[in-house]
Structure 1
Amino acid sequence: MKKSNTNAYMALVVVSIFWGTTYLASRIGVRHTHGLMLAGVRQTIAGLLLIGFFLLRGYKFPERIVLSRLFVIGVMMLCLSNGLITWAMQYIPSGLCAIIVATVPIWITIFSYFLVQRTKFTILLVTGMLVGLMGVGGIFYDYLSSLTNPQFRFGILLTIIACISWAIGSVLTARWALKINFLYGAGFQMLFSGIVMTVIASIMGYSLPIDALNIELWGSLLYLIFIGSILGYSSYVFVLNNLPPSLASVYAYINPIVAVLLGWLILQEHLNWTTGISCLVTLGGVYLVNMAVNRNKKQYGTTKS
């Protein structure tokens, strides 16, 4: 096995496991500050570190058009996605949030059809979507009593909006295909979105309690910056550039399982057979969707050439 492939598989393990742990870290962090503030500070610092790294290596600032598109993608994928997810975890369990986020490939497929028009709705694709939605429905059935709580419903709404925003941002990223180093571009996305979220949270009257030595808050923040943003995203980009997309997407099936188990073990979040089976059904539907999309890509590539 080539060294690059070995490193890529190791990076895939990092993404699969550690990105799943960020739900727990976020859930702990929002106990002490608002979700938008936590996500904003996280992305701002991570963005500054990444941009600084590339500037020290001699990289030049991107052109204005590239920066403007990085701003749009950053707001869609990190502000309206990561920020809202972190905010949502003030109201819903981290495991439940991770399971809903696992449906992102379904949303990407839908928006790809309207914005790129390369996705064909085959029987396998529709079946996968229905199975995935049935799994989510089973999870909601297990939380029927919680749905009477307005804050719980608000958390669910934030998570769904976050999924849609991430999907649109992903489609725009593929459509624009910006000519810039992926990690360098990600640094600007993090910085732009981080500033936006921090400003919004400040206007809402929230702040980061920097005058108090709170181990949970600062531990959560440092973990999200260095493990979630820098290590996790760097590994993800490396995986995308060295492994087939179908293999790279494996992380999407492992992240929710890691998040659910950690939430149950450490935070005593709700977990029973209904939730567990519904989670597996959801992931099964997402798997079918990815399989159908990969088949469509192969067929499209063949006809295109």
Structure 2
Amino acid sequence: MQPTTNKAPGYVALCITSIVWGSTWVVSKIGVAEIPALQMAYIRQFMAGSIFVLFFLLYKKIPLPTTKQFRWLFIMAIIMFTSANGLSTWGIQYIPAGMGSLIGALYPLSVVIFEKMFFKSAPLTPITFAGLFLGIAGIAIVFYENAFHHTGSNYVFGIILSVIAMLSWSLGTIFIARNKVDINPYYGVGWQMLISSVILFVIMETTQKTVAFTAISAKVWWVIAYLVLLGSVMAFIAFIFSMKKLPAAIASLYAYINPFVAMITAYFVLHEKLSIHILWGSIVTIVGVYLVNYSIKRSKKIMVEGEI
């Protein structure tokens, strides 16, 4: 389907996606200051997943997933929501929200590395190598700058959690591309959220001390409401809408905008450090991610043209 000529609604949806998803890092940081991160993650995912699933079951009359679809949904729930979303939420409990969002933006780099290591994808071009170098160098600059203000094992632990979350998102991206299942994307995401919420609930209730629902403050419930209604529902709908209305290259710009929204918002709301070095490191990282994405699309285009 070609993008429609009226692209204004698509750009509005792109702005909503970029601003809301960027701000969720800061909002999550506020929430995990009071309750365990994984507890907040499973509450958020259960509520958001219920909204999607109930809408399609009761209003759209879509049947329950088949056994094949459920197996696929279960795997995706573990990779994308239990691991990627859950661990990234846990990670920002110990690191700046801006740092967490920047690490999350690195996933295209690890997708390229995984594809090359395990699936023998197309040869890496000089542009790809340049992008990989810049992405890693930019993160190193931001990490070095933040290290002076966030010392101790917790900071390192938060970095590790965020990197694992980013790698999980990369694996999920590859899995989706190589194991597609015919299911409505909104409906599928709803089921993934519900499944992951149950998994995270079991993990938390059997391994860690959680906060009783009646003891959760009103502020945290407002945080969860924002994450559910705006972060998980509205922004995701806006993202899918922008993909339909705009060229993929433009609709994907949210990935480059999110980290800056997170860092600027965190600076004003959480008073996180935002030095010139952090800004330059972030810009270098995003340029590296862009070059990697550009090289991938260019290589695929050349391969397609070569087969014609």
Residue-by-residue CA offset, 1:198-240 (whole Å, 9 max, x unaligned): 2211112332432136222001100111111111122222333
Count of residue pairs brought into register by the alignment: 305
Percent identity of paired positions between Structure 1 and Structure 2:
34
Q: What residue number does 1:32 align with?
A: 34
Query: Which of these residues, 103, 108, 129, is aligned with residue 126 of structure 1?
Result: 129
In 2: Cα distance, 1:198 partner to 1:146 partner = 33
Q: Could you tell me the TM-score, scaled by structure 1's length?
A: 0.95
| Superposition CA RMSD, Å | 1.7
Query: Which of these residues, 77, 81, 84, is aligned with residue 78 of structure 1?
Result: 81
Q: What residue number does 1:151 align with?
A: 154
Q: 1:48 is aligned with what amino acid?
A: S
Q: 2:38 is aligned with what amino acid?
A: L
Q: What residue number does 2:258 align with?
A: 255
Query: Which of these residues, 142, 146, 156, is aligned with residue 145 of structure 2?
Result: 142
**TM-aligned CA deviation for residue 4 of structure 1:** 6.3
Are 2:296 and 1:290 aligned?
no
Q: Could you tell me the TM-score, scaled by structure 2's length?
A: 0.94
Contact 1:118 1:300 in 2 (8 A): no
In 1: Cα distance, 2:198 partner to 2:181 partner = 22
**TM-aligned CA deviation for residue 294 of structure 1:** 1.3
Residue-by-residue CA offset, 1:178-205 (whole Å, 9 max, x unaligned): 1011111111111111111122111123
Contact 1:246 1:290 in 2 (8 A): no
Residue-by-residue CA offset, 1:65-116 (whole Å, 9 max, x unaligned): 1111111112111111110011111111101111111111111222233455
Query: Which of these residues, 48, 52, 68, is aligned with residue 50 of structure 2?
Result: 48
Structure 1: gaps of 5 or more residues: none
* Alpha-carbon distance change, 183 to 97 in structure 1, aligned in 2, over 3 angstroms: same
Q: Which moved more, 1:181-190 or 1:4-13?
A: 4-13
In 2: Cα distance, 1:60 partner to 1:94 partner = 39
Contact 1:88 1:155 in 2 (8 A): yes
In 1: Cα distance, 2:119 partner to 2:180 partner = 13
In 2: Cα distance, 1:208 partner to 1:198 partner = 12
**TM-aligned CA deviation for residue 148 of structure 1:** 4.4
In 1: Cα distance, 2:71 partner to 2:273 partner = 42
Are 2:206 and 1:200 aligned?
no
**TM-aligned CA deviation for residue 10 of structure 1:** 2.0
Are 2:245 and 1:272 aligned?
no
In 2: Cα distance, 1:186 partner to 1:115 partner = 26
Structure 2: gaps of 5 or more residues: none
Query: Which of these residues, 212, 230, 234, is aligned with residue 233 of structure 2?
Result: 230
* Alpha-carbon distance change, 113 to 235 in structure 1, aligned in 2, over 3 angstroms: farther
* Alpha-carbon distance change, 4 to 172 in structure 1, aligned in 2, over 3 angstroms: farther
